[in-house]
Structure 1
Amino acid sequence: MTRLSRWIFNCYLIRGDGACVVVDAGLPASPDDVAGVLAVLGGTVTAVIATHGHSDHVAGAPALVTETGASLHLPEATVGYLDGTQRPRTPALAKVAQIWPTLVSQPLDLTGLTGFVKGAQIAGYGGAKGMVGDGLRTARPLVDGQPLPGVPGWEILSVPGHTDDSTAFWHAGSATLISGDAVLSADGRAWFTPETVDDDLARSSERRLRALKVEHLLPGHGLPVHRRDVWAEVTCH
């Protein structure tokens, strides 16, 4: 597992047997960052996957898929946004403001900052236009309870609350959770995000995730958390 981070935006590479699955290629610079890592470590990108459809999780995906020929996989609800059968909800600015401790947990990265602004024009949702990004239309759906494509041992978990399409990926064998934005980190501890579109769904998702014996938390934003029981000490701001 390799983490690529620009400011607070985490992209994860799951590597094995020469294949590499990229999770949350959210910034326009993600393809270059991934290529740089694989030039050193080796491997070929076989799948590009996202935890949800916000632009800072998918904006780098179209270029990465084009450059590598990898398959694209998005949460089932996100695919519905693309075909117009569903409309995405995004947290209000007042909710976004609540996660400020995560926003200052890592040094500001100019590439990350400019990429965040430009990425919204490439792919994803969060603005008045709904879902943007013709480059995402080849996406196959990630379905709750199914295996994660391209890498053995990982399970897809639907964890709505932050958004309706929020998804996490769980590897029981290593007690590792890629949590997307359902769980952030701050002060070295896990933080169930207050940045939500539906508090009831978020509480239900929190109960589901707390039932997992997580030792390695890889959040969408913030630093990873590694401890015998990640949920033993959860931050509350």
Structure 2
Amino acid sequence: MALTTETGSGVLALTPDLAYLRLSIVNVVFYGDPKKGDGWVLIDTGLSTSRKSIVDAAERRFGPNAKPSAIIMTHGHFDHAGSLEALALHWDVPVYAHPLEFSYLNGKASYPPADPFVGGGLMALLSPLFPRSPVNVEPRLKPLPPDQTLPHMPGWKWLHTPGHAPGHISLWRETDRTLISGDAVVTTGQESVYEALMQTPEMHGPPRYFTPDWNAAENSVKLLNALEPELVISGHGPPVKGAGMRERLRHLATNLT
């Protein structure tokens, strides 16, 4: 079940301090309560064409010339870091990521080639055409704190959830059991173009064609399932919540093959 309220900004509010913006097949998340005016954080940056949509939505939600305190990256794949260089330059803000993602965010390494023969579906077959080259935000790139706190996000912690990417992280708030899962768990199928466009709520592991370590991905799903979240906001698909979501997540954790 989704819990969304249209704010008039193109952003869908989930809680007073959490909202997300769907950009084609991928989501970005805004953390911060616009009524309090005490700062906000952007989580992931969408596609290379997403810069204007994100800036416009941020200014409508947080006010003219709204500037985040930081950008936090779940990982550096093209659909999550596509507008990172442009937004980091536009706002001149720090970018936080797991150190194992640094080589993909500082221009030094490309991700491994996609595997078009896993998962089935047209998206999988097209995956070798997706960009793999790194972005470069090295002057603004900072490691996430080793104590698992999240900068400018009090009450939150980051969790290392590799498999889809070596430094993939998910974000967790214990007080209301809210999980921002990135691509460790997604809520609509990504191998099929139809499923990706229709956004039918389902529970899936990470997109197979871009997941080189399936054993690690399985362990990450089990870790997230053990949290028993109340609300899941994923990198792909609508937010889902409640007992039905947890039941589907438990099933996924024991059947991710």
Q: Do the two structures share a fold, i.e. TM-score over 0.5?
A: yes
Structure 1 distance, partners of 2:236, 2:122, is: 10
Q: Which runs of 5+ in 2 are unaligned?
A: 1-17, 189-199
SS at match of 1:217: strand
Letter in 2 for 1:30: S
Structure 1 distance, partners of 2:106, 2:88, is: 19
**Alpha-carbon shift at residue 22 of structure 1 (Å):** 0.6
Task: Tell whether 2:79 aligns with 1:56.
Answer: yes
Aligned length: 212
Paired residues of 1:62 and 1:136 also in contact (CA < 8 A): no
Structure 1 distance, partners of 2:141, 2:233, is: 23
Paired residues of 1:81 and 1:88 also in contact (CA < 8 A): yes
Structure 1 distance, partners of 2:145, 2:100, is: 9
| Structure 2 match to 1:138 | 140
Structure 2 distance, partners of 1:216, 1:231, is: 9
| Structure 2 match to 1:172 | 174
Relative to structure 1, the CA distance from residue 62 to residue 100 in structure 2 (aligned partners, 3 Å threshold; closer, same or farther) is closer
**Alpha-carbon shift at residue 68 of structure 1 (Å):** 1.3
**Alpha-carbon shift at residue 80 of structure 1 (Å):** 3.9
Relative to structure 1, the CA distance from residue 85 to residue 45 in structure 2 (aligned partners, 3 Å threshold; closer, same or farther) is closer
| Structure 2 match to 1:226 | 241
Instruction: String of CA shifts for 1:128-183, please: whole Å, max 9, x gaps.
Output: xxx42233453112256511111111111111111222211111112111111110
Relative to structure 1, the CA distance from residue 27 to residue 84 in structure 2 (aligned partners, 3 Å threshold; closer, same or farther) is closer
**Alpha-carbon shift at residue 193 of structure 1 (Å):** 2.6
SS at match of 1:185: coil
1:9-24 alignment to 2 at 5 Å?
A: 9-16=26-33, 17-18=36-37, 19-24=39-44
Paired residues of 1:46 and 1:69 also in contact (CA < 8 A): no
Letter in 2 for 1:190: M
- TM-score, normalising length from structure 2? 0.72
Q: Which runs of 5+ in 1 are unaligned?
A: 102-115, 121-125
| Structure 1 match to 2:152 | 150
Instruction: String of CA shifts for 1:28-69, please: whole Å, max 9, x gaps.
Output: 343322322233222531111111111111121111111112
Structure 1 distance, partners of 2:158, 2:146, is: 5
Specify which structure has the higher proportion of strand.
1
Relative to structure 1, the CA distance from residue 179 to residue 99 in structure 2 (aligned partners, 3 Å threshold; closer, same or farther) is farther
Paired residues of 1:99 and 1:194 also in contact (CA < 8 A): no
Identity of paired residues, percent? 27
- CA RMSD in angstroms comes to 2.9
Relative to structure 1, the CA distance from residue 97 to residue 10 in structure 2 (aligned partners, 3 Å threshold; closer, same or farther) is farther
Structure 2 distance, partners of 1:150, 1:95, is: 38
Indicate the larger mover: 77-86 or 5-14: 77-86
**Alpha-carbon shift at residue 96 of structure 1 (Å):** 6.1
Relative to structure 1, the CA distance from residue 82 to residue 71 in structure 2 (aligned partners, 3 Å threshold; closer, same or farther) is closer
Task: Tell whether 2:229 aligns with 1:214.
Answer: yes
Relative CO higher for 1 or 2, CA cutoff 8 Å, sep ≥ 6?
1
